[in-house]
Amino acid sequence: MNSRFAQLLHGLIGLDAESVGQVVIERAVRQRVAALGCASEDAYWLKAQASASEQQALVEAVVVPETWFFRYPESFVALTKLAGERSTQLAGARALRILSLPCSTGEEPYSIAMALLDAGLPGDGFRIDAMDISEVNLQRAERALYGRNSFRGDDLGFRDRHFAETAEGFELRDEVRRKVRLLAGNLLAPGLLAGEAPYDFVFCRNLLIYFDRPTQHRVAAVLQRLMRDDGALFIGPAEASLFSQVGMQALNIPLAFVFRRQAARPASVVVQGVPSSGARPRPAVAAAPAARAPAPVRRSPAAVPAQAVVGADTSLDDIAALANAGRSDEARAACERYLTSHGPTAQAFYWLGLLSDVAGRSNEAQDYYRKTLYLAPTHAEALAHLSTLLAARGDLAGARRLQQRAGRGVSRDER
């Protein structure tokens, strides 16, 4: 197969073929060729060129969601704190505006709604817009019926409160569904959401890693346009370096990966306690004693602890703060110091894997993720990232095994 389909997808959704692997694109094309009964890829190419609906179908075949409720739980703790402060400042003048994109099959925006409702924000005090390019994903989000793979971790109290168990799965209750408006849209479309007021909080996590550098900067500019000047942006751990480079500043809430504009007035953020949603701050791996949940912190958004840079007593919180701030080289050095002091630790290996992934050293990243999983077999993020790496290399069977393994480890009851 030549590069024409990769170029088409890059033009449509900004996809960098190397980020997912050419084999994933080839498989999607074969699926569409078979679905349409085309005699050849050349015949399918002509159909795709002439049909916007078929271009969308090809996008659907490439975009495979991998998400679950309360992924990165610390970010939801941070959100409830920041949203509570903003709501108090507004004193009922308007509702908080929150954007989740891409929203995939709905787990993220519904997690936002559950976290805020359980934290005590009134139902009319916030509004969530959730956008995705995939019509199939949006239909699933609208149905709001989820299987066990969408629920991972040991603390699933939110499922008992906000879902009704049915023969088909777990159905989200209407009071949560009503808080989310689902929208179809392409982040690269000119004038995206131009008629909407800017948002207080924007969630856009683990998307930019699939773009080439020019597209990343283009998307970063769009996200900043969609935010209020005093708003906050929640991103994925592999994207911190980029947003540091484009003039944004980490709030340095460990493991939350939340940024603001540097021009905004600094405000101390103290994360303490947890929302009653069950989004309790916890390490990604319960089996690694050193990877404890972050203690309450009192830091200036611009500050990173000095010991995270030069000290021998580096903690996992320090590593997270450095990575969160986009200071990858220092975070890597801190990981090495931590391993020297504490011995093999799953969470330190995970950070090294993530930092290698960000730097484009996929072989090295794969080794570190495997070390993480050796020490902590149910580490959800390591499973997800390693699965992506294997798929990009063409090992689709290996990627599926990891995804199934993640699904089997959703709770203590099912291990």
24-33, 55-64, 141-150: which range is least confident on average? 55-64
Q: How far apart are CA 82 and CA 122, in angstroms?
A: 15
* Model confidence at 30: pLDDT above 80: yes
Q: How far apart are CA 18 and CA 20, in angstroms?
A: 6
Where do the CATH 3.40.50.150 domains begin and end in the chain?
A: 73-270
Average pLDDT over residues 87-97: 94
- How many angstroms separate the Cα of 119 from the Cα of each of 76, 122, 202, 279? 10, 9, 19, 10
CA angle 73, 347, 392 (to 5 degrees): 85
Selected from 1.10.20.10, 3.30.390.10, 1.25.40.10, 1.10.3760.10, the CATH number assigned to the domain covering 303-414 reads 1.25.40.10
Q: How far apart are CA 46 and CA 71, in angstroms?
A: 40
- The residue with greater pLDDT, 193 or 386, is 193
- The residue with greater pLDDT, 223 or 381, is 223
- The residue with greater pLDDT, 270 or 26, is 26
CA 10 from chain centre, in angstroms, equals 21
- The answer for residues whose C-beta is within 8 angstroms of residue 300's C-beta and 6 or more apart is 252, 266, 268
Q: How far apart are CA 62 and CA 210, in angstroms?
A: 12
* Model confidence at 271: pLDDT above 70: no
The predicted model scores a pTM of 0.70
Predicted local confidence at residue 188, as pLDDT: 83
Rounded to the nearest integer, the mean pLDDT of the chain is 81
Backbone angles phi, psi at 253, to 5 degrees: -95, 110
**What CATH superfamily is the domain 73-270?**
Vaccinia Virus protein VP39 (3.40.50.150)
Q: Which segment, 8-17, 26-35, 268-277, is predicted with the most confidence on average?
A: 26-35
Q: How far apart are CA 259 and CA 201, in angstroms?
A: 10
Q: Show the 3-state SS of the chain.
A: CCCHHHHHHHHHHCECHHHHCHHHHHHHHHHHHHHHCCCCHHHHHHHHHHCHHHHHHHHHHHCCCCCCCCCCHHHHHHHHHHHHHHHHHHCCCCCEEEEECCCCCCHHHHHHHHHHHHCCCCHHHEEEEEEECCHHHHHHHHHCEECHHHCCCCCCHHHHHHEEECCCCEEECHHHHCCEEEEECCCCCCCCCCCCCCEEEEECCCCHHHECHHHHHHHHHHHHHHEEEEEEEECCHHHHHHHHHCCEEECCCCCCCEEEECCCCCCCEECCCCCCCCCCCCCCCCCCCCCCCCCCCEECCCCCCHHHCCCCCCCHHHHHHHHHCCCHHHHHHHHHHHHHHHCCCHHHHHHHHHHHHHCCCHHHHHHHHHHHHHHCCCCHHHHHHHHHHHHHCCCHHHHHHHHHHHHHCCCHHHC
Predicted local confidence at residue 408, as pLDDT: 55
Predicted local confidence at residue 300, as pLDDT: 36
Q: Tokens 């004038």, residue?
A: 191
Predicted local confidence at residue 247, as pLDDT: 81
Q: How far apart are CA 157 and CA 143, in angstroms?
A: 21
Predicted local confidence at residue 398, as pLDDT: 76
Predicted local confidence at residue 404, as pLDDT: 67
Where do the CATH 1.25.40.10 domains begin and end in the chain?
A: 303-414
* Model confidence at 45: pLDDT above 90: yes
How would residue 115 be classed by pLDDT, with cut points 50, 70 and 90? very high
How would residue 414 be classed by pLDDT, with cut points 50, 70 and 90? very low
pLDDT tens-digit map of 358-375:
777 878 888 899 888 878
How would residue 383 be classed by pLDDT, with cut points 50, 70 and 90? confident
- The answer for residues whose C-beta is within 8 angstroms of residue 167's C-beta and 6 or more apart is none
pLDDT tens-digit map of 151-180:
987 789 999 999 999 999 999 999 999 999
Q: Please state, for a pLDDT cut of 70, what percent of the chain lies above it.
A: 82
pLDDT tens-digit map of 302-347:
344 444 444 556 788 888 888 877 788 888 899 988 888 888 888 9
73-82, 210-219, 380-389: which range is least confident on average? 380-389
Sheet holding 145-146, edge to edge: 145-146, 170-172, 163-165
How would residue 213 be classed by pLDDT, with cut points 50, 70 and 90? confident
* Model confidence at 292: pLDDT above 50: no
Q: Please state, for a pLDDT cut of 90, what percent of the chain lies above it.
A: 36
* Single-letter amino acid code for the residue at 163: F
Count other Cβ atoms within 10 Å, centred on residue 24: 21
